[in-house]
Structure 1
Amino acid sequence: MDIIGWIVVIGLIGLGLAGAIFPILPGALAIYAAFFAYGLFFTFSKFGFWFWTIQTLIVIVLFVADYAVSAWGVKKYGGSKASVVGSTIGIMIGPFVIPAFGLIIGPLAGAVLGELVHGSSMAQAWKVGWGSMLGLFASTVVKVLLQVAMVVLFFIWIL
């Protein structure tokens, strides 16, 4: 039963870390679920108030940062609300439409199209698209760092 428990825990952590790169995956919630799986398969006694408080705060920061950092990239380059929405839609559907490059092309195309719909010039739309890309990359770095911190804290806590 221990082997199955560790397979579930490691699988959820792996799924969560992959979620930092592929936004369609659950990300931080999968890592959070790994903690519950560990508790169910092994014990919750190693986790206390501070563990759950710190991990919950990291998850909240991840959700806020994920949207805020991506939107910041679009807004910093003069993007409208339409380009933020377009970029978000592009992040979600891009990987399915263009599997190898959709994660990069999706938000770029979404931001550009959103800005063009808003009535901006092509030059402005491309500028905002570039901002969308910078925001996406910055957001991904933040997510990876915070999710790795969640995992490291988990292993420190249980050892």
Structure 2
Amino acid sequence: MDILLLFFGLGLMLVGIVGSFLPALPGTPLSWVGLLLLHLTSAVPDDWTFLGITLAVSLLVLALDYFIPILGTKKFGGSKGGVIGTTIGLLVALIFPILGVLGIIIWPFLGALAGELMNKTNPKTALKAAFGSFLGFLAGTFLKFMVTLVFLWLFLAKVWEHRVPLFPFFKGA
């Protein structure tokens, strides 16, 4: 059972990292569930303080992910249309990866610009607001990505520290 929990936990850690870029997947909570599964193994002792702190961080980042793009948009004079356009642009980049890695940057910006142009008549103001919305999106994504990487590092450190057996015939180093 420990092996199953370990591999499901590691899988959730990796899905959490991917989820830091995909708006449909809650990356940090998925990574936290991976930490929880690791602590449910018999090899790793229960550490409810550790799990409580990492859960609080996960939920805080999840909440901030909704507020950071709004703050970026408002700071640069944008509207809700810019935030929605950024999200649609990201989905376009993921569904149609025409420009590869650059598409993850270009499509959300173009989506924010289109969303702002639909709400504003002044193209200069729309461009400024789209930039703010895009910066908010990048900041939120970067924060989620960094937290999921830290959670992965904590996961691997716990596996190493407690010599979690990876296979029944391997009892750790």
TM-score range for the pair, normalised by the shorter chain length: 0.7 to 0.9
What is aligned with 1:18?
Answer: 18
AA paired with 1:96? I
Name the structure where helix makes up a greater proportion of residues.
1
Gaps (5+ residues) in structure 1?
Answer: none
What is aligned with 1:33?
Answer: 33
1:138: Cα distance to partner? Answer: 1.5
1:54: Cα distance to partner? Answer: 0.6
After TM superposition, which residue ranges in structure 1, 4 or more long, deviate above 6 angstroms?
Answer: none
Alpha-carbon spacing, 1:44–1:92, altered in 2? closer, same or farther (3 Å)? farther
Could you tell me how far apart the structure 1 residues matched to 2:46 and 2:73 are?
A: 39
Alpha-carbon spacing, 1:51–1:154, altered in 2? closer, same or farther (3 Å)? farther
Say yes or no: does 1:91 pair with 2:111: no
Higher mean C-alpha displacement, 61-70 vs 45-54? 45-54
Say yes or no: does 1:57 pair with 2:56: yes
What is aligned with 1:77?
Answer: 76
Could you tell me how far apart the structure 1 residues matched to 2:158 and 2:121 are?
A: 51
**TM, length-normalised to structure 1:** 0.80
- Asked if structure 2 preserves the Cα contact closer than 8 Å seen for 1:31 and 1:151, the reply is yes
What is aligned with 1:136?
Answer: 137
1:27: Cα distance to partner? Answer: 1.1
- Which whole-Å deviations, capped at 9, do the CAs of 1:91-149 have from their partners, x for residues lacking one? 33431134524432332122212211212312222222222222222222211222233
**TM, length-normalised to structure 2:** 0.74
Which structure has the larger Rg over C-alpha atoms?
A: 2
- Asked if structure 1 preserves the Cα contact closer than 8 Å seen for 2:29 and 2:59, the reply is no
CA RMSD of aligned residues (A): 2.6
1:50: Cα distance to partner? Answer: 0.9
Could you tell me how far apart the structure 2 residues matched to 1:46 and 1:2 are?
A: 13
Matched length: 158
Could you tell me how far apart the structure 2 residues matched to 1:102 and 1:24 are?
A: 18
Say yes or no: does 1:121 pair with 2:122: yes
